[in-house]
Structure 1
């Protein structure tokens, strides 16, 4: 059996069960295993030996319990990931899993006692797969770009559209692409939106980037048409941009420039941004639909106004938040949410796109639930325009 180069902390107050778990981990080939009988002892141990990759936590114990321990290490970087091992009721374990996610820790799984070796190994291997590989030193990515930097990036066309396909879960066919943003920095790095999107929003540059991105993407769509492929382009639209009285006119102009039609474009608006919708915003939504554009309510289920907004606004697509898929295998309630959303979409005449599909097991389960449209790394990662055009000819090339 191959070894697992991981540092593990076992937090369990029952001496026999703790010894059993330590023995199982050693049999699995874990590099280093530490043990503690309560949270306070575990914190002192971490102070002495340094960070661990995984903490395997019981929750209910005398002294500092596992819940408080997780809260204490959540912001300190002392633990990389958490596995829960507890006999507490399922609803309490669910709440702790949510707490783990909110603290920014990776949640690997929830195991019943006594622990099953093969299942534990599977969870630990998942942690290994997600751990960053050692890489040569590179220029660090700036935390957030300045106004001067993003204005220069826009002016010098350093911001580029990237594309992640949406697919039919049944046939594997391409249903469209979501148009994302990347910064091809002069340093040679490709920077993520977290570096520059806050600055674009803060300094009123979202519209300029939207139209630049649309111009790039519609040019790629035009090239795809010449290859005999029709592909819908989906653009993320900040809810505040709907209040612009020039939005629909600019969209119409861009479509005309590239010989595109409205039904070849989707606008995805995040649900959390739709808490208050002005008459101008509603007018923009109506005009976009009148032009033939599709409207998608993005990250559905992550906000608090879903049902009301579905009734009030002219959306014709729901994109279910990726969190429901991410915990699909460990959380039975997620199955109910997905099934209910599919039924809701069917009743309202809206298509439902499932975000965040990363594994074959998730894909298989979603098919069983009746899902037909999805998006995620299991199918394709975001890619540049030239790569997308190549991929549309040979969809397996970049899988």
Structure 2
């Protein structure tokens, strides 16, 4: 953890120092401390962006809410941990606000903090960013040039995270996640390249390359007697491309793969063109046997309207509902309601963000069947996925 850059923002000196000492014990050597938002922004201006900000909310001077908004505008934070003694529902609302600002929320902690919680959240950041300290955003024009070159040079790769049966932990499918294998900075997240691809109208090119990689891996897996289906992420706007479903059909035909090999996950926060072309693409994909899923369900808008008017056959419940599952009855009630609604509509439900046995046990008691999260596996590159699956199948057969 020595290369992590961390900001501790808290107006209580003893609490602030305690967090810094905990981080130092965990191996962090680059720690900034501030007592209120203005001071924190000045430190970020002088020292550059940080990987994680442990951010208090209620402070004299600039409070945590204003700080998060201004820091996000300056691209000064990669991720944030909300630390506060305010009510849990308020902490959850602030976490959602931070997500809408483009920040990754690692979690929420109530004071006083415990060492194991700080270590767990810092490890969560490192698990998703193995080359800790590498930038998520490359500077200015260099960023655009390098992203376009990366697409041309096939540096944008697919990492795979399994979905699993919550009760048996058997793998049911895998989600394809875009990553940039940067020649200098290592593995970078989508935040470093998606905005550029969107500006240049290259999201479809990325999508078709991802499908190509998935179906190539499917063919390799089939040769090893491993059956794989894939979920790929799409922006809502991509359904408005008149050639989308036709292009997908050509890829499936080229690999001699059934439509059921693919599912398309659309983030709920995306703006969906209500025109007939989007709906036609969705219908044609479903008619081919492909799946359609609303990703991050509950984190966007128009949920019920989309479910009733569009041909989705799966929803993925946002990980935000899982983080405080053991202590927050609202989260359990929300999940139960979604499960009941999904059963009435005859659509599947996937629970994202499952990290602990306790969460799994609660979800089983609620009637959940399919999940995804670090409890089973982290995202992994293609060359690791197949050996992992073969080894896992062999272990299951021996047990």
TM-score calculated relative to the size of structure 1: 0.75
Hey, what does 1:142 align to over in structure 2? 138
1:361 paired residue among 358, 362, 371: 358
Against the structure 1 CA distance between its residues 189 and 340, is the aligned structure 2 distance closer, same or farther, given a 3 Å change threshold?
Answer: same
How far has the Cα of 1:300 moved from its partner? Answer: 1.0
Q: Secondary structure at the match of 1:299?
A: strand
Q: Secondary structure at the match of 1:273?
A: coil
Maintained 8 Å contact 1:11/1:42: yes
Maintained 8 Å contact 2:266/2:293: yes
- Tell me, in whole angstroms, the C-alpha distance in 2 between the residues paired with 1:140 and 1:7: 17
1:268 paired residue among 249, 265, 270: 265
Q: Does 1:109 align with 2:145?
A: no
Hey, what does 2:220 align to over in structure 1? 223
1:247 paired residue among 233, 237, 244: 244
- Tell me, in whole angstroms, the C-alpha distance in 1 between the residues paired with 2:287 and 2:80: 49
Against the structure 1 CA distance between its residues 154 and 364, is the aligned structure 2 distance closer, same or farther, given a 3 Å change threshold?
Answer: same
Against the structure 1 CA distance between its residues 174 and 90, is the aligned structure 2 distance closer, same or farther, given a 3 Å change threshold?
Answer: closer
TM-score calculated relative to the size of structure 2: 0.75
Q: Structure 1: any 5+ residue segments left out of the alignment? A: 1-5, 13-17, 33-40
Q: Tell me whether 158-167 or 361-370 shows the greater mean CA deviation.
A: 361-370
Q: Does 1:70 align with 2:67?
A: no
How far has the Cα of 1:265 moved from its partner? Answer: 1.1
- Tell me, in whole angstroms, the C-alpha distance in 2 between the residues paired with 1:7 and 1:148: 31
Hey, what does 1:194 align to over in structure 2? 191
Q: Structure 2: any 5+ residue segments left out of the alignment? A: 1-5, 26-33, 45-51, 395-399
Maintained 8 Å contact 2:106/2:125: no
After superposition, give the CA deviation of every residue in 1:143-197 in whole Å (9 maximum; x if it has no partner). 5764443332222222222211111111111111111112222336222211111
Q: Tell me whether 323-332 or 300-309 shows the greater mean CA deviation.
A: 323-332
After superposition, give the CA deviation of every residue in 1:86-125 in whole Å (9 maximum; x if it has no partner). 5xx66556556656766757653236xxx7xxx8455444
Q: Tell me whether 152-161 or 306-315 shows the greater mean CA deviation.
A: 152-161
Q: Secondary structure at the match of 1:179?
A: strand
- Tell me, in whole angstroms, the C-alpha distance in 2 between the residues paired with 1:340 and 1:43: 40
Against the structure 1 CA distance between its residues 202 and 317, is the aligned structure 2 distance closer, same or farther, given a 3 Å change threshold?
Answer: same
Q: Does 1:380 align with 2:377?
A: yes
- Tell me, in whole angstroms, the C-alpha distance in 1 between the residues paired with 2:294 and 2:132: 40
How far has the Cα of 1:310 moved from its partner? Answer: 0.2
Maintained 8 Å contact 1:178/1:235: yes
Against the structure 1 CA distance between its residues 370 and 42, is the aligned structure 2 distance closer, same or farther, given a 3 Å change threshold?
Answer: same
Maintained 8 Å contact 1:266/1:294: yes
- Tell me, in whole angstroms, the C-alpha distance in 1 between the residues paired with 2:381 and 2:160: 6
Hey, what does 1:311 align to over in structure 2? 308
- Tell me, in whole angstroms, the C-alpha distance in 2 between the residues paired with 1:101 and 1:137: 21
Aligned residues: 361
- Tell me, in whole angstroms, the C-alpha distance in 2 between the residues paired with 1:122 and 1:371: 28
State how 1:103-182 maps to structure 2 within 5 Å: 104=103, 107-110=107-110, 120-127=114-121, 129=123, 142-143=138-139, 146-182=143-179
Maintained 8 Å contact 1:275/1:305: no
Against the structure 1 CA distance between its residues 366 and 138, is the aligned structure 2 distance closer, same or farther, given a 3 Å change threshold?
Answer: closer
Instruction: Determine which structure has more spread, i.e. the larger CA radius of gyration.
Output: 1
Aligned-pair RMSD on alpha carbons?
4.0
2:295 paired residue among 281, 293, 298: 298
- Tell me, in whole angstroms, the C-alpha distance in 1 between the residues paired with 2:98 and 2:206: 35
Q: Secondary structure at the match of 2:237?
A: helix
Maintained 8 Å contact 2:10/2:36: no
Against the structure 1 CA distance between its residues 96 and 180, is the aligned structure 2 distance closer, same or farther, given a 3 Å change threshold?
Answer: closer
Q: Secondary structure at the match of 1:394?
A: helix
Maintained 8 Å contact 1:100/1:106: no
State how 1:4-23 maps to structure 2 within 5 Å: none
How far has the Cα of 1:129 moved from its partner? Answer: 4.2
